[in-house]
Structures are given as structure tokens and as C-alpha cells.
Amino acid sequence: MISDQLYLIGIKMSKQVFKFILVLGLMCLLLIQPAYAVIRESEIPPDIILYKSIQTWRDQSKNPWQLIFFKEIKGDNQPTINLRLVGFPDLFEFNHPQPLIIKIREDLTVQVPDVFTSDQEAFAPNMGQYNFKSIVDQLESNNFWLLELPLKDGELSRIKVPYFILEEWKKIIVQKASE
């Protein structure tokens, strides 16, 4: 009889401990936020303000790429909004002036124009830069984007950009020079 009571007390305590651990675990999940990179602001004399996000992300073959999303405001001119992609030298070479292809969702694919079409010699061959001004309204951040990088010799590298990076890019887009 006493052993039965101790057994029932043990079950009740086990259920209470389990519930406590479950509630504690759920609270931790709610409080954890994804890691965001810092949006950097730079002032370049005489009157240029630059907002940028720099991330390192891997393609489908696990090769690292640097993703630099930036907005440049020159005085009273319209800002430029660009994505610069940088791969390892001698390993990757962009096929300029090919556009960057972005699969935003299953039913929406866009082409982003290459900025380096007119002055290819001024940039490293492992670097591509694309003008995002025309697609900023399509910047959805509820999932991920698939970037298809146009490389030389018909190669294609794909990078999945997750929602939290897209959210950061949205913050850069709405930045004003006075903020």
C-alpha cells in the first residue's frame, strides 16, 4: 500500500517535472531570435552616406560567398541599391554582363541587371554587382530567395538567402539619410 502511494507520488512528480521542462523549453524558443548582422552606416566625404549589410553565406556546393547589400545616397540624388557578390579569387569568375536570376517564390522569378556591364576592367572577375532598385517592391521575406549566379563557362552557382537576411535588406532599403 505504501509502495503504491510512493509510486503514484513519483508519477505525479514526473508529470510536474515534465510540464515544467516543457514550459521552460517553450519559453526559451519564444525568446530566441535569429542572429542578425549589423547594418553599418558610413559617411564618405563630401556628401555620400552608405548603409550596408555584409554576410558570408554558402552556395549549394558549400563554397562561401560574401553577400554585401548596400544603399548609397549621394547628396540629393536618388539612392542606388545594390547587391555585391564576392567569391574566392581564381575559383569563380562572373559572366558579365549577365543578370542575376532570383527565384523569389515558386511562381515569381526576376532578373536583376548587372552593374558591371560598362566598366568590367575596374572590378575583380570574382565579383558581381546587381542593381536592386527595380525589384525593391518585390522583396518578400516570408521564406528564402534562391540566387542563381551567372558564372563563366556556363557554370551556375546557387545561394539560398533566408528570410532574416531579407528582413535586414528591407531595413536598409527604408533607411533615410537623416536617420
Per-residue pLDDT tens digits for 74-97: 988 899 999 999 999 888 999 988
Domain ranges, residue 148? 40-174
With a threshold of 0.85, does the pTM exceed it? Answer: no
Number of domains in the chain: 2
In a domain, 105, yes or no: yes
In a domain, 179, yes or no: no
Do 151 and 89 lie in a common domain? yes
d(C-alpha 34, C-alpha 55), whole Å: 14
Q: What is the pLDDT of residues 110-163, one digit of tens each?
A: 999 999 875 556 678 899 999 999 888 877 777 899 999 999 988 889 999 999
d(C-alpha 145, C-alpha 104), whole Å: 5
Taking CB atoms within 8 Å and a gap of at least 24, the contacts of 41-49 are 41/175, 47/74, 47/75, 48/72, 48/73, 48/74, 48/75, 49/73, 49/177
Do 105 and 139 lie in a common domain? yes
